[in-house]
Amino acid sequence: MFEDIPVDVGLVHEGERIRKSDMQFELGGPKVAEKFELVRLKPAEEIESGAIHIIGPDIDELEEGKSHPFGIVIEIAGPELEENLEGVIERRIHEYSNYIEGFMHLNQRYDIWIRLSRKSFKKGLTSFRFIGMAMQELFRNELPIIQEIQITFITDPEEIKPLHAEAMAVYEARDARARGLSDEDVDVFYGCALCQSFAPTHVCVVTPQRYANCGAISWFDGRAAARIDPKGPIFPIEKGECVDPNTGEYTGVNESAKKRSMGEVDRIYLYSGFGYPHTSCGCFEAIAFYIPEVEGYGIVHRGFRDLAVNGLPFSTMADSTAGGRQIDGFHGISIEYMRSRKFLQADGGYEAVVWIPEEIKERLKDYIPESVFGAIATEKDATTIDELKAFLMQQNHPVVTQWTEVAEEPEETAVITAGELPITTGGFRILLKNARIYADKVIIQPIQPKKPGRGEKQ
Protein backbone atom coordinates (compact mmCIF):
# COMPACT_ATOMS: atom_id res chain seq x y z
CA MET A 1 0.00 0.00 0.00
CA PHE A 2 2.84 2.41 0.82
CA GLU A 3 5.46 1.06 -1.60
CA ASP A 4 6.10 4.51 -3.19
CA ILE A 5 6.98 6.01 0.19
CA PRO A 6 10.66 5.74 1.20
CA VAL A 7 9.97 5.01 4.90
CA ASP A 8 7.77 2.54 6.70
CA VAL A 9 4.17 3.50 7.54
CA GLY A 10 2.24 1.67 10.25
CA LEU A 11 0.80 1.56 13.73
CA VAL A 12 4.18 0.47 15.09
CA HIS A 13 5.53 4.02 14.71
CA GLU A 14 2.80 5.66 16.76
CA GLY A 15 4.25 6.97 20.00
CA GLU A 16 7.76 7.26 18.49
CA ARG A 17 9.68 10.16 20.05
CA ILE A 18 12.24 12.24 18.16
CA ARG A 19 14.77 14.12 20.26
CA LYS A 20 16.03 17.55 19.24
CA SER A 21 19.48 16.12 18.57
CA ASP A 22 17.98 13.59 16.10
CA MET A 23 15.71 15.93 14.18
CA GLN A 24 16.13 17.27 10.66
CA PHE A 25 13.88 20.22 11.60
CA GLU A 26 10.71 21.18 13.45
CA LEU A 27 7.41 22.32 11.96
CA GLY A 28 5.35 24.54 14.24
CA GLY A 29 6.04 24.11 17.95
CA PRO A 30 6.47 26.71 20.69
CA LYS A 31 8.93 28.91 18.78
CA VAL A 32 6.61 29.44 15.81
CA ALA A 33 3.58 31.75 15.77
CA GLU A 34 1.89 30.49 12.60
CA LYS A 35 1.05 26.79 12.71
CA PHE A 36 -2.25 25.01 12.20
CA GLU A 37 -4.04 22.00 10.77
CA LEU A 38 -7.50 22.22 9.31
CA VAL A 39 -10.02 19.87 7.68
CA ARG A 40 -12.73 21.42 5.50
CA LEU A 41 -15.68 19.78 3.85
CA LYS A 42 -16.11 20.82 0.19
CA PRO A 43 -18.38 20.00 -2.74
CA ALA A 44 -16.79 17.14 -4.71
CA GLU A 45 -16.41 19.26 -7.84
CA GLU A 46 -14.15 21.69 -5.95
CA ILE A 47 -11.67 18.94 -5.08
CA GLU A 48 -8.91 17.72 -7.32
CA SER A 49 -8.97 14.18 -5.99
CA GLY A 50 -5.57 12.90 -4.87
CA ALA A 51 -3.86 16.28 -5.35
CA ILE A 52 -1.03 17.30 -3.04
CA HIS A 53 -0.03 20.98 -3.11
CA ILE A 54 2.99 22.52 -1.43
CA ILE A 55 3.03 26.29 -0.84
CA GLY A 56 6.57 27.31 0.11
CA PRO A 57 9.83 25.37 0.51
CA ASP A 58 9.58 21.56 0.44
CA ILE A 59 11.25 19.28 3.02
CA ASP A 60 14.62 19.22 1.21
CA GLU A 61 14.63 23.03 1.01
CA LEU A 62 13.89 23.78 4.66
CA GLU A 63 16.85 24.74 6.82
CA GLU A 64 18.17 21.95 9.00
CA GLY A 65 17.85 22.21 12.79
CA LYS A 66 15.35 25.11 12.65
CA SER A 67 11.65 25.56 13.49
CA HIS A 68 9.45 26.56 10.54
CA PRO A 69 5.89 27.88 10.14
CA PHE A 70 3.61 25.10 9.01
CA GLY A 71 0.01 24.55 7.94
CA ILE A 72 -1.88 21.50 6.68
CA VAL A 73 -5.23 21.96 4.94
CA ILE A 74 -7.13 18.78 4.11
CA GLU A 75 -10.18 19.21 1.91
CA ILE A 76 -12.63 16.33 1.74
CA ALA A 77 -15.85 15.37 0.03
CA GLY A 78 -18.35 12.52 0.31
CA PRO A 79 -22.17 12.27 0.35
CA GLU A 80 -22.29 11.08 3.99
CA LEU A 81 -19.94 13.73 5.34
CA GLU A 82 -21.27 16.65 7.38
CA GLU A 83 -19.67 19.80 8.75
CA ASN A 84 -19.87 18.50 12.34
CA LEU A 85 -17.32 15.86 11.38
CA GLU A 86 -14.58 18.29 10.36
CA GLY A 87 -13.16 18.57 13.88
CA VAL A 88 -13.18 14.81 14.45
CA ILE A 89 -11.55 14.01 11.13
CA GLU A 90 -9.00 16.77 11.76
CA ARG A 91 -8.04 15.08 15.05
CA ARG A 92 -7.11 11.97 13.05
CA ILE A 93 -4.23 13.91 11.45
CA HIS A 94 -2.42 13.39 14.74
CA GLU A 95 -2.96 9.64 14.63
CA TYR A 96 -2.23 9.00 10.94
CA SER A 97 0.78 11.25 10.59
CA ASN A 98 2.32 9.48 13.59
CA TYR A 99 2.17 6.21 11.61
CA ILE A 100 4.92 7.59 9.33
CA GLU A 101 8.37 6.46 10.42
CA GLY A 102 10.41 9.40 11.72
CA PHE A 103 7.51 11.88 11.65
CA MET A 104 6.41 12.90 15.15
CA HIS A 105 3.20 14.90 15.48
CA LEU A 106 2.12 16.46 18.80
CA ASN A 107 -0.96 18.45 19.80
CA GLN A 108 -3.69 19.79 17.55
CA ARG A 109 -5.28 22.74 15.80
CA TYR A 110 -3.20 25.93 16.32
CA ASP A 111 -0.74 24.17 18.65
CA ILE A 112 0.81 21.56 16.35
CA TRP A 113 4.44 20.60 16.83
CA ILE A 114 6.06 18.22 14.36
CA ARG A 115 9.58 16.82 14.10
CA LEU A 116 11.10 14.99 11.17
CA SER A 117 13.94 12.66 12.03
CA ARG A 118 17.30 13.00 10.30
CA LYS A 119 17.27 9.24 9.77
CA SER A 120 14.03 9.28 7.77
CA PHE A 121 15.24 12.32 5.81
CA LYS A 122 18.36 10.37 4.85
CA LYS A 123 16.18 7.41 3.87
CA GLY A 124 14.58 9.67 1.25
CA LEU A 125 11.68 11.37 3.06
CA THR A 126 12.57 14.62 1.31
CA SER A 127 9.17 15.87 0.15
CA PHE A 128 5.78 16.61 1.72
CA ARG A 129 4.41 14.70 -1.27
CA PHE A 130 5.26 11.44 0.57
CA ILE A 131 3.55 12.63 3.76
CA GLY A 132 0.49 13.60 1.72
CA MET A 133 0.41 10.24 -0.09
CA ALA A 134 0.57 8.28 3.18
CA MET A 135 -2.11 10.42 4.80
CA GLN A 136 -4.45 10.17 1.82
CA GLU A 137 -4.17 6.38 1.84
CA LEU A 138 -4.81 6.21 5.58
CA PHE A 139 -7.78 8.59 5.52
CA ARG A 140 -9.42 6.74 2.61
CA ASN A 141 -8.85 3.30 4.17
CA GLU A 142 -9.77 4.11 7.74
CA LEU A 143 -12.67 6.45 6.98
CA PRO A 144 -14.33 5.21 3.76
CA ILE A 145 -16.96 7.96 3.96
CA ILE A 146 -14.21 10.22 2.60
CA GLN A 147 -14.47 9.80 -1.14
CA GLU A 148 -12.39 12.72 -2.40
CA ILE A 149 -9.39 14.24 -0.66
CA GLN A 150 -6.74 16.82 -1.46
CA ILE A 151 -4.00 18.05 0.83
CA THR A 152 -2.11 21.35 0.91
CA PHE A 153 1.05 21.89 2.96
CA ILE A 154 2.07 25.47 3.66
CA THR A 155 5.57 26.51 4.75
CA ASP A 156 5.86 29.95 3.15
CA PRO A 157 6.14 32.42 6.08
CA GLU A 158 4.04 35.10 4.32
CA GLU A 159 1.46 32.93 2.54
CA ILE A 160 0.64 31.12 5.77
CA LYS A 161 -0.50 34.28 7.63
CA PRO A 162 -3.99 34.77 6.06
CA LEU A 163 -4.59 30.99 6.05
CA HIS A 164 -3.70 30.81 9.75
CA ALA A 165 -6.14 33.65 10.51
CA GLU A 166 -8.83 31.83 8.52
CA ALA A 167 -8.19 28.60 10.45
CA MET A 168 -8.50 30.46 13.79
CA ALA A 169 -11.88 31.84 12.67
CA VAL A 170 -13.05 28.32 11.75
CA TYR A 171 -12.05 26.93 15.18
CA GLU A 172 -13.90 29.76 16.94
CA ALA A 173 -17.05 29.18 14.86
CA ARG A 174 -16.96 25.44 15.65
CA ASP A 175 -16.52 26.06 19.38
CA ALA A 176 -19.29 28.65 19.44
CA ARG A 177 -21.72 26.09 17.95
CA ALA A 178 -21.36 23.92 21.03
CA ARG A 179 -21.98 26.76 23.52
CA GLY A 180 -25.44 27.26 24.93
CA LEU A 181 -26.24 23.60 25.54
CA SER A 182 -25.89 22.39 29.14
CA ASP A 183 -24.96 18.98 30.57
CA GLU A 184 -28.45 18.71 32.06
CA ASP A 185 -30.00 19.06 28.59
CA VAL A 186 -28.64 15.73 27.32
CA ASP A 187 -28.84 12.06 28.37
CA VAL A 188 -25.70 10.96 26.61
CA PHE A 189 -22.10 12.18 26.86
CA TYR A 190 -19.30 10.98 24.55
CA GLY A 191 -16.03 9.29 25.37
CA CYS A 192 -12.85 9.52 23.27
CA ALA A 193 -10.11 6.93 23.63
CA LEU A 194 -7.96 8.18 20.77
CA CYS A 195 -5.05 9.04 23.07
CA GLN A 196 -4.85 5.61 24.71
CA SER A 197 -1.81 4.79 22.57
CA PHE A 198 0.05 7.40 24.67
CA ALA A 199 -1.94 7.20 27.93
CA PRO A 200 -3.56 3.74 28.21
CA THR A 201 -5.88 4.59 31.13
CA HIS A 202 -7.10 7.87 29.68
CA VAL A 203 -10.52 8.53 28.20
CA CYS A 204 -11.85 12.02 27.59
CA VAL A 205 -15.44 12.49 28.69
CA VAL A 206 -16.88 15.07 26.34
CA THR A 207 -20.00 16.83 27.56
CA PRO A 208 -21.72 19.99 26.34
CA GLN A 209 -20.03 21.90 29.16
CA ARG A 210 -16.74 20.05 29.37
CA TYR A 211 -14.93 20.22 26.05
CA ALA A 212 -12.28 17.56 25.34
CA ASN A 213 -8.86 18.24 26.88
CA CYS A 214 -7.24 18.76 23.49
CA GLY A 215 -9.80 21.43 22.62
CA ALA A 216 -10.53 19.68 19.32
CA ILE A 217 -13.73 17.73 20.05
CA SER A 218 -17.05 19.16 21.20
CA TRP A 219 -20.14 17.24 22.30
CA PHE A 220 -21.62 17.78 18.80
CA ASP A 221 -18.42 16.45 17.20
CA GLY A 222 -18.59 13.41 19.50
CA ARG A 223 -22.19 12.75 18.55
CA ALA A 224 -21.45 12.96 14.82
CA ALA A 225 -18.33 10.76 15.12
CA ALA A 226 -20.04 8.03 17.16
CA ARG A 227 -22.83 7.90 14.62
CA ILE A 228 -20.71 7.50 11.48
CA ASP A 229 -18.02 5.29 13.01
CA PRO A 230 -19.62 3.22 15.81
CA LYS A 231 -16.52 1.04 16.16
CA GLY A 232 -14.18 4.03 16.25
CA PRO A 233 -12.44 5.63 19.25
CA ILE A 234 -15.39 7.95 20.03
CA PHE A 235 -18.36 6.30 21.73
CA PRO A 236 -21.55 7.28 23.57
CA ILE A 237 -21.69 7.22 27.37
CA GLU A 238 -25.12 6.98 28.96
CA LYS A 239 -25.02 9.54 31.79
CA GLY A 240 -26.87 7.39 34.29
CA GLU A 241 -27.73 8.91 37.68
CA CYS A 242 -26.24 12.22 38.76
CA VAL A 243 -24.45 11.45 42.06
CA ASP A 244 -23.45 15.07 42.68
CA PRO A 245 -24.31 17.97 40.36
CA ASN A 246 -21.63 20.17 41.94
CA THR A 247 -18.64 17.90 41.31
CA GLY A 248 -20.23 16.51 38.15
CA GLU A 249 -20.23 12.85 39.12
CA TYR A 250 -22.43 10.49 37.10
CA THR A 251 -22.85 6.74 37.52
CA GLY A 252 -22.69 6.14 33.75
CA VAL A 253 -19.41 8.08 33.46
CA ASN A 254 -17.91 6.12 36.37
CA GLU A 255 -18.90 2.78 34.83
CA SER A 256 -17.54 3.76 31.44
CA ALA A 257 -14.24 5.02 32.96
CA LYS A 258 -13.80 1.76 34.86
CA LYS A 259 -14.39 -0.34 31.77
CA ARG A 260 -12.23 1.71 29.42
CA SER A 261 -9.34 2.18 31.88
CA MET A 262 -9.25 -1.52 32.75
CA GLY A 263 -10.26 -0.78 36.33
CA GLU A 264 -7.61 1.93 36.99
CA VAL A 265 -10.11 4.80 37.17
CA ASP A 266 -13.55 4.17 38.64
CA ARG A 267 -14.77 7.61 39.65
CA ILE A 268 -14.64 10.92 37.85
CA TYR A 269 -15.54 14.42 38.94
CA LEU A 270 -16.10 16.37 35.75
CA TYR A 271 -15.89 19.81 37.35
CA SER A 272 -13.10 19.55 39.92
CA GLY A 273 -9.32 19.27 40.02
CA PHE A 274 -9.45 17.38 43.33
CA GLY A 275 -10.89 14.14 44.64
CA TYR A 276 -11.44 12.22 41.43
CA PRO A 277 -10.41 14.68 38.72
CA HIS A 278 -10.83 13.90 35.03
CA THR A 279 -7.69 12.16 33.76
CA SER A 280 -5.20 13.97 31.53
CA CYS A 281 -3.54 12.27 28.56
CA GLY A 282 -0.89 14.76 27.42
CA CYS A 283 -2.72 16.63 24.66
CA PHE A 284 -4.36 19.15 27.01
CA GLU A 285 -4.22 22.76 25.90
CA ALA A 286 -3.62 24.08 29.41
CA ILE A 287 -3.01 23.00 33.00
CA ALA A 288 -4.89 24.19 36.07
CA PHE A 289 -2.29 23.87 38.84
CA TYR A 290 -3.10 24.39 42.48
CA ILE A 291 -0.88 26.80 44.41
CA PRO A 292 -1.11 25.81 48.09
CA GLU A 293 0.55 29.02 49.33
CA VAL A 294 -2.42 31.09 48.11
CA GLU A 295 -5.05 28.33 48.02
CA GLY A 296 -5.97 29.01 44.43
CA TYR A 297 -5.37 27.77 40.90
CA GLY A 298 -2.91 29.07 38.37
CA ILE A 299 -3.56 28.28 34.73
CA VAL A 300 -0.76 27.92 32.18
CA HIS A 301 -1.28 27.17 28.50
CA ARG A 302 0.97 25.29 26.12
CA GLY A 303 2.06 28.40 24.26
CA PHE A 304 3.34 30.22 27.39
CA ARG A 305 7.10 30.38 27.02
CA ASP A 306 8.10 31.77 30.45
CA LEU A 307 7.98 30.19 33.87
CA ALA A 308 4.56 30.12 35.48
CA VAL A 309 4.11 31.95 38.78
CA ASN A 310 5.08 28.84 40.75
CA GLY A 311 8.51 28.87 39.05
CA LEU A 312 7.82 25.92 36.75
CA PRO A 313 7.58 25.83 32.96
CA PHE A 314 4.56 24.27 31.20
CA SER A 315 6.66 21.26 30.14
CA THR A 316 7.59 20.30 33.73
CA MET A 317 4.03 20.59 34.95
CA ALA A 318 2.82 18.67 31.89
CA ASP A 319 5.01 15.73 32.98
CA SER A 320 3.33 15.77 36.40
CA THR A 321 -0.14 15.98 34.86
CA ALA A 322 -0.08 13.64 31.84
CA GLY A 323 -0.21 9.87 31.50
CA GLY A 324 -3.89 9.18 32.15
CA ARG A 325 -3.57 9.62 35.92
CA GLN A 326 -5.76 11.47 38.40
CA ILE A 327 -3.48 13.95 40.12
CA ASP A 328 -4.95 16.22 42.77
CA GLY A 329 -4.25 19.82 41.85
CA PHE A 330 -2.69 19.18 38.43
CA HIS A 331 -5.48 19.17 35.92
CA GLY A 332 -5.28 19.07 32.10
CA ILE A 333 -7.96 21.23 30.47
CA SER A 334 -8.94 22.86 27.18
CA ILE A 335 -9.31 26.59 26.65
CA GLU A 336 -12.94 26.06 25.62
CA TYR A 337 -13.71 24.39 28.98
CA MET A 338 -12.58 27.66 30.56
CA ARG A 339 -15.55 29.30 28.80
CA SER A 340 -17.96 26.86 30.45
CA ARG A 341 -20.16 27.83 33.38
CA LYS A 342 -19.15 24.52 34.97
CA PHE A 343 -15.43 25.32 34.79
CA LEU A 344 -13.90 23.98 38.05
CA GLN A 345 -17.33 24.59 39.58
CA ALA A 346 -16.77 22.37 42.62
CA ASP A 347 -13.54 24.20 43.49
CA GLY A 348 -15.02 27.68 43.25
CA GLY A 349 -14.79 28.34 39.48
CA TYR A 350 -13.06 31.62 38.62
CA GLU A 351 -13.20 32.66 42.28
CA ALA A 352 -10.51 30.02 42.83
CA VAL A 353 -8.33 31.16 39.92
CA VAL A 354 -5.49 33.48 40.92
CA TRP A 355 -3.12 33.63 37.96
CA ILE A 356 -3.51 33.29 34.16
CA PRO A 357 -1.12 34.37 31.37
CA GLU A 358 -2.29 37.69 29.94
CA GLU A 359 -2.88 36.26 26.45
CA ILE A 360 -5.40 33.72 27.76
CA LYS A 361 -7.02 36.16 30.18
CA GLU A 362 -7.64 38.50 27.24
CA ARG A 363 -9.08 35.69 25.11
CA LEU A 364 -11.45 34.74 27.92
CA LYS A 365 -12.41 38.21 29.10
CA ASP A 366 -16.08 37.75 28.13
CA TYR A 367 -16.28 34.55 30.20
CA ILE A 368 -14.48 35.50 33.42
CA PRO A 369 -16.94 37.07 35.88
CA GLU A 370 -16.43 40.83 36.10
CA SER A 371 -16.43 40.61 39.91
CA VAL A 372 -13.12 38.72 39.90
CA PHE A 373 -11.55 39.66 36.53
CA GLY A 374 -9.33 42.45 37.89
CA ALA A 375 -8.26 40.37 40.90
CA ILE A 376 -6.75 37.57 38.79
CA ALA A 377 -3.05 38.23 38.27
CA THR A 378 -1.12 37.76 35.03
CA GLU A 379 2.63 37.51 34.44
CA LYS A 380 2.61 41.34 34.29
CA ASP A 381 1.36 41.50 37.89
CA ALA A 382 3.22 38.62 39.53
CA THR A 383 6.08 36.33 38.59
CA THR A 384 6.67 34.85 42.05
CA ILE A 385 4.45 33.53 44.81
CA ASP A 386 5.34 36.48 47.07
CA GLU A 387 4.37 38.96 44.37
CA LEU A 388 1.20 36.98 43.78
CA LYS A 389 0.24 37.07 47.46
CA ALA A 390 0.76 40.82 47.58
CA PHE A 391 -1.30 41.33 44.41
CA LEU A 392 -4.18 39.15 45.62
CA MET A 393 -4.31 41.00 48.96
CA GLN A 394 -4.21 44.36 47.24
CA GLN A 395 -7.04 43.31 44.88
CA ASN A 396 -8.98 41.61 47.68
CA HIS A 397 -9.28 38.38 45.67
CA PRO A 398 -11.90 35.95 47.14
CA VAL A 399 -9.16 33.43 48.11
CA VAL A 400 -7.75 35.97 50.59
CA THR A 401 -10.77 35.41 52.83
CA GLN A 402 -9.79 31.77 53.17
CA TRP A 403 -6.29 32.71 54.34
CA THR A 404 -7.75 34.56 57.30
CA GLU A 405 -9.97 31.63 58.18
CA VAL A 406 -7.06 29.21 58.12
CA ALA A 407 -4.88 31.54 60.20
CA GLU A 408 -7.48 31.35 62.97
CA GLU A 409 -7.31 27.53 63.06
CA PRO A 410 -5.44 26.40 66.22
CA GLU A 411 -3.38 23.76 64.44
CA GLU A 412 -2.09 24.15 60.95
CA THR A 413 -0.99 21.14 59.00
CA ALA A 414 0.57 20.84 55.58
CA VAL A 415 -1.06 18.48 53.10
CA ILE A 416 1.02 17.09 50.32
CA THR A 417 -0.44 14.87 47.68
CA ALA A 418 1.46 13.16 44.94
CA GLY A 419 0.53 10.92 42.08
CA GLU A 420 3.60 8.77 42.44
CA LEU A 421 6.11 9.52 45.15
CA PRO A 422 9.38 7.73 44.58
CA ILE A 423 11.49 6.63 47.55
CA THR A 424 14.87 5.19 46.83
CA THR A 425 16.39 3.00 49.49
CA GLY A 426 18.71 0.03 49.74
CA GLY A 427 18.86 -0.47 45.98
CA PHE A 428 15.06 -0.58 45.65
CA ARG A 429 12.70 2.05 44.23
CA ILE A 430 9.39 2.18 46.06
CA LEU A 431 6.53 4.06 44.38
CA LEU A 432 3.71 5.28 46.60
CA LYS A 433 0.89 5.58 44.07
CA ASN A 434 -1.63 8.36 44.79
CA ALA A 435 -0.22 8.65 48.31
CA ARG A 436 -1.45 11.32 50.73
CA ILE A 437 1.04 12.24 53.42
CA TYR A 438 0.05 14.39 56.40
CA ALA A 439 2.91 16.00 58.29
CA ASP A 440 3.42 18.83 60.78
CA LYS A 441 6.65 19.78 59.07
CA VAL A 442 8.45 18.81 55.86
CA ILE A 443 12.22 19.22 55.63
CA ILE A 444 13.81 18.64 52.25
CA GLN A 445 17.59 18.39 52.33
CA PRO A 446 20.00 17.52 49.53
CA ILE A 447 22.00 14.36 50.23
CA GLN A 448 25.65 15.41 50.64
CA PRO A 449 28.36 12.95 49.64
CA LYS A 450 29.74 11.39 52.85
CA LYS A 451 33.00 12.99 53.93
CA PRO A 452 35.71 10.42 54.66
CA GLY A 453 36.23 10.04 58.41
CA ARG A 454 39.51 9.94 60.20
CA GLY A 455 41.50 6.98 59.05
CA GLU A 456 39.28 6.38 56.01
CA LYS A 457 40.79 6.49 52.55
CA GLN A 458 39.89 9.48 50.32
Task: Name the site residues for ligand SF4 (rule: CB under 6 A).
Answer: 91, 192, 194-195, 204, 212-214, 216-217, 281, 283
Closer to ligand SF4 at the Cβ: 67 or 207?
207
CB 178 within 8 A of CB 209: no
Measured from the CB of residue 236, what is the shortest distance to ligand SF4 in angstroms? 14
Provide the β-strand partners of residue 298: 289, 355
55 alpha carbon, distance to own chain's centre: 28
What's the min distance (Å) between Cβ of 343 and ligand SF4?
Answer: 17
Nearer to ligand SF4, 283 or 382 (CB): 283
Of 194 and 286, the one with the shorter C-beta distance to ligand SF4 is 194
The residue among 194 and 226 lying less far from ligand SF4, judged by its C-beta, is 194
Minimum distance, C-beta of residue 434 to ligand SF4, in the bound complex (Å): 21
204 is in an annotated binding site: no
Q: CB of 318: closest distance to ligand SF4 in angstroms?
A: 13
CB of 270 to ligand SF4, least distance (A): 14
Query: CB 214 → ligand SF4: shortest distance, Å?
Result: 3
Residue 407 sits at the vertex; the CA angle it makes with 403 and 410, to the nearest 5 degrees, is: 145
For residue 195, say whether it is annotated as part of any ligand binding site: yes
Between 135 and 217, CB nearer to ligand SF4: 217
Decide whether 16 or 244 has the Cβ nearer to ligand SF4.
16
107 vs 117, beta carbon nearer ligand SF4: 107
Smaller CB distance to ligand SF4: residue 90 or 347? 90
Residue 214 labeled ligand binder: no
**Residue 192 is labelled as binding a ligand:** yes
What are the C-alpha distances in Å from 207 to residues 99, 211, 217, 221, 271? 29, 6, 10, 10, 11
**Shortest reach from residue 195's CB to ligand SF4, in Å:** 3
- Of 113 and 350, which CB lies nearer to ligand SF4 in the complex structure? 113
Determine phi and psi for 334, rounding to 5 degrees. Answer: -100, 160
In three-state form (DSSP H/G/I as H, E/B as E, the rest C), the secondary structure along the chain is CCCCCCCCECHHHCCCCCCHHHEEEEEECCCCCCEEEEEEECCHHHCCCCCEEEECCCHHHCCCCCEECEEEEEEEECCCCCHHHHHHHHHHHHHHHCCECCEEEECCHHHCEEEEEHHHHHCCCCCHHHHHHHHHHHHHHHCCCCCEEEEEEECCCCCHHHHHHHHHHHHHHHHHHHCCCCHHHCCEEEEECHHHHCCCCCCEEEECCECCCCCCCCHHHHHHHHHHCCCCCEEEEECCCEEECCCCEEHHHHHHHHHHCCCCCCCCECCCCCCCECCECCCCCEEEEEECCCCEEEEEECCCCCCCCCCCCHHHHHHHHCCCECCCCEEEECCHHHHCCCCCHHHCHHHHEEECCHHHHHHCCCCCCHHHHCCCECCCCCCCHHHHHHHHHHHCCHHHHHHHHHHCCCCCCEEEECCEEEEEECCEEEEEECCEEEECCCCCCCCCCCCCCCCCCC
Tell me how far, at minimum, the Cβ of 206 lies from ligand SF4, in Å: 6
Going by the annotation, the residues of the binding site for [Ni-Fe-S] cluster are 192, 195, 281, 283
Annotated binding-site ranges = 192, 195, 281, 283
